[in-house]
Structures are given as C-alpha cells and as structure tokens.
C-alpha cells in the first residue's frame, strides 16, 4: 500500500488526515511542516514535495500571515493576519492538486493574545464547511504553553469541540520550547522546565482525546526555536518514548504510539536525534529557520555571481550599453531563492524519511 491509497493529491482533511499521520507513525516517517510567507515560498514548497514524491504540510505563522496580506495593510484586530492566512490557504488549495501533492494546510503557533486570529480563521473554516463539506484548513495550532496547564487544556478543549464539528485537527503545545518565536521569548528559562513530564502529556492526551482523536501534541523535550548554541540545552527525544509508554500502559492500549507528536525547534538537530524522535511517534516536524536561510542564500549567491550585472539598469562587463533587465527581473533572482529553498527542503524530506512515497 502506498501513500496515495490513503490520501489523494490536494488538501487532506479529517479522517484522511488522521489515517495519514498514523500511517506515518507505522512506516516511520514524519512530514515536514514548512513555514511559508509568500506565494513564492508556497510554490517552492509544492514543487519540492512534487519532486520528492512526498506529502507536505504548509503552515502560516501569525507574522507570516500578516506578511501574506502585505506589511503595509495594518493588522488592527488581526485583520491582516486573518486575511493573509486565508489568501495563502486558497493559493495552496488551488495549486496542490495541480502539483499532484497531498498537502496538510495548517496554521502555526497561536498564543492567547492572538486568539482573534484563530477565531477569524476558524470562522472561515466554518463557512467553507457549510458550503463544501470540509474546512479550509486541515488543522490549526494553539500555543497556550505560557498559560497554566489547566488553562491550556481548558481552552484547547473548547476549541477542539468546535473544530471537531467541521473535521479540523488541533495541534497544541505544552511545556516550554526555548528560544524566541513570534514574540514569545523563552531565552532565559530554567532548563528543567524545557522537558514535559509523562503525567502532563498523559493529562493532555486523556482530556483532549475524549473530545476528538484529531489532536497533535508538541511536547517539550529540550527543543529550542531557531538555531541554538550547541551545548545549551540537551535534546532528549527518548522522553517522547517514555510518554508513549506511559499513555499506553495507563489506558491499556494496543497502540505503541498512541500520541501524535510534533517536533518544534528542530533546526540544527543531529540526524540521529531526528530519527529517534520519529521512532517515538513524531509525525510532524516544523521547518522554518533552515529554509529561511536557504531562500536568502539563493539570492546571496546569485548576487555574488552576477555582481557586475546588478549595479545599474544598463552597463555590465559585456558593454557599457548592455541592459541588465534579465538579471534584476524579480522572476530571475527570486527563482534562485526558490531553487535554493527547494534543495534545502528536499534534504528535510530525506532526513524525515518522507521521500519517494508515491
Ligand atoms: Zn513551539
């Protein structure tokens, strides 16, 4: 059985999404969830997935969504982040089938202060469900890890009940991921807090799966957002295995990997740690920092190579009156960024064993 026996090209929803993630656990791969902030990066992600023959997750952060709507629009009442996420989603929805790729359409970290953004996307999902029988997004993430565990779970439950009615999946985060992302700064936190405890993960699993099985859990196991200084924090993926064993035993389950785990802050991780995390049931790994660098380095290398053709509209080593339009046309240098992004994302597909699946 191949992956296209489970899901079809296009956006993946509901039961199909759950089956895809359990299939990933069973086969031992994780799907890269790529932060996209523009039509260019969306297309590059789709192209990379098509050529890698891989399913793909595309996610929009709050800041990325604002950027998709245009930084100049202004984001009062989260209007730009809501509209930008919806624009991005419709681009992915329109193109995913044409690229022939199964895509999980997702939104990234949403802290409590950003809930109006979450509400806006969910309202669009509900409108889409009423008209077409599916939500617009496959899934959304709530990051209430800064709140108490009680509040975190309570708010997740409230939203999950609403999302379950339209077959939309929830990703939640517990514990603290170090580093800084989207305005949440955990640079100087006590390091023991960087690891979720089995009882905490089980409590989340127990309370949320009573409402719906469509839950992904980002538990902290020493992760740090962004590229971190080696030696600061020890990544301990074996803790995820301990959580799975705890949940299995407590609930008397047959499944060795009952929880669908997500790997945040994996940039710069060793391949062996990624392998180990996947072995313990990680089915989604966020990819942002490394593809950001790749996108930029595509432009940087192009500039270095074509420096003499990029100093004015006319005049280059071939002659004073020679035009440079072909070089500075954004379609030329942005394409270099895309190609570099694609090379880096292909590496992630291989690292996550999410390669050559159809
Ligand atoms: Zn996170």
pLDDT tens digits for 84-128?
Answer: 999 999 999 999 999 999 999 999 999 999 999 999 999 999 999
The alpha carbon of 328 and the centre of ligand 1 are apart by a number of angstroms equal to 37
The alpha carbon of 141 and the centre of ligand 1 are apart by a number of angstroms equal to 9
The alpha carbon of 176 and the centre of ligand 1 are apart by a number of angstroms equal to 8
Write out the residue range of the structural domain in which residue 30 sits.
3-351
The secondary structure of the chain in percent helix, strand, coil, rounded to multiples of 5, reads 50, 15, 30
Helices (H), the chain: 14-27, 39-52, 62-69, 79-99, 115-132, 149-164, 198-209, 238-251, 271-279, 289-306, 325-328, 330-351
The alpha carbon of 254 and the centre of ligand 1 are apart by a number of angstroms equal to 29
Count up the domains in the chain and report the number. 1
In a domain, residue 357? The reply is no
The alpha carbon of 34 and the centre of ligand 1 are apart by a number of angstroms equal to 13
In a domain, residue 78? The reply is yes
SS3 label, residue 254: coil
Q: What confidence score (pLDDT) does residue 231 get? A: 55
The alpha carbon of 286 and the centre of ligand 1 are apart by a number of angstroms equal to 9
Question: Which backbone phi and psi does 175 adopt, to 5 degrees?
Answer: 80, -175
Q: What confidence score (pLDDT) does residue 187 get? A: 60
Q: What confidence score (pLDDT) does residue 1 get? A: 67
In a domain, residue 106? The reply is yes
Q: What is the CATH number of the domain that holds 63?
A: 3.20.20.70
In a domain, residue 356? The reply is no
300-304 long-range contacts (CB < 8 A, ≥24 apart) are 301/336, 301/340, 302/333, 302/336, 303/333
In a domain, residue 212? The reply is yes
Extract the residue ranges of the chain whose pLDDT is less than 50: none
252 torsion bin: left (phi>0), alpha (psi -120 to 50), beta (else): left
The alpha carbon of 321 and the centre of ligand 1 are apart by a number of angstroms equal to 53
Record the tokens describing residue 179, joined without a space: 């580093």
Is 190 annotated as catalytic? no
The alpha carbon of 225 and the centre of ligand 1 are apart by a number of angstroms equal to 7
Q: What confidence score (pLDDT) does residue 212 get? A: 98
Ion ligand 1: residue ranges with CB closer than 5 A = 173, 177, 264
Q: What is the pLDDT of residues 59-68, one digit of tens each?
A: 999 999 999 9
Q: What confidence score (pLDDT) does residue 194 get? A: 78
Catalytic residue among 108, 143, 202, 288: 108
In a domain, residue 264? The reply is yes
Record the tokens describing residue 332, joined without a space: 């030329």
Other CB atoms closer than 10 Å to residue 322's CB: what's the count? 11
The alpha carbon of 212 and the centre of ligand 1 are apart by a number of angstroms equal to 22
The angle formed by the CA atoms of residues 297, 229 and 276, to the nearest 5 degrees, is: 90
Q: What confidence score (pLDDT) does residue 79 get? A: 98
Q: What confidence score (pLDDT) does residue 41 get? A: 98
């Amino acid at each position: 059985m191949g992956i296209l026996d489970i899901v079809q090209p296009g956006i993946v929803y509901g039961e199909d999404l759950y089956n895809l993630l359990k299939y990933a656990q069973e086969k031992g791969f994780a799907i890269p969830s790529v932060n996209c902030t523009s039509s260019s990066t969306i297309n590059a992600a789709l192209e990379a997935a098509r050529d890698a023959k891989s399913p793909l997750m595309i996610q929009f952060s709050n800041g990325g969504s604002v950027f998709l709507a245009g930084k100049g629009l202004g984001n009062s009442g989260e209007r730009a982040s809501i509209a930008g996420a919806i624009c991005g989603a419709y681009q992915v929805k329109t193109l995913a089938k044409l690229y022939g790729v199964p895509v999980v359409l997702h939104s990234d970290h949403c802290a409590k202060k950003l809930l109006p953004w979450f509400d806006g996307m969910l309202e669009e999902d509900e409108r889409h469900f009423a008209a077409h029988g599916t939500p617009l997004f496959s899934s959304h993430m709530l990051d209430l890890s800064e709140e108490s565990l009680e509040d975190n779970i309570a708010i997740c439950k409230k939203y999950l009940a609403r999302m379950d009615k339209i077959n939309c999946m929830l990703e939640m985060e517990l514990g603290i991921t170090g580093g800084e992302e989207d305005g949440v700064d955990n640079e100087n936190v006590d390091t023991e807090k960087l690891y979720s405890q089995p009882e905490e993960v089980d409590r989340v699993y127990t309370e949320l799966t009573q409402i719906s099985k469509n839950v992904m859990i980002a538990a902290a196991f020493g992760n740090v957002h962004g590229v971190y200084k080696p030696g600061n924090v020890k990544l301990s993926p074996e803790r995820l295995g301990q959580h799975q064993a705890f949940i299995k035993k407590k609930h008397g389950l047959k499944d060795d990997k009952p929880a669908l785990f997500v790997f945040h802050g994996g940039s710069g991780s060793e391949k062996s740690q990624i392998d180990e995390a996947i072995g313990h049931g990680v089915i989604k790994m966020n990819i942002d920092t490394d593809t950001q660098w790749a996108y930029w380095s595509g432009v940087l290398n192009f500039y270095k190579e074509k420096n003499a053709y990029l100093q004015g509209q006319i005049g280059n080593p071939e002659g004073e009156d020679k035009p440079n339009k072909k070089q500075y046309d954004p379609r030329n240098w942005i394409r270099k960024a895309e190609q570099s992004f694609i090379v880096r994302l292909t590496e992630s597909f291989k690292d996550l064993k999410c390669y050559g699946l159809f």
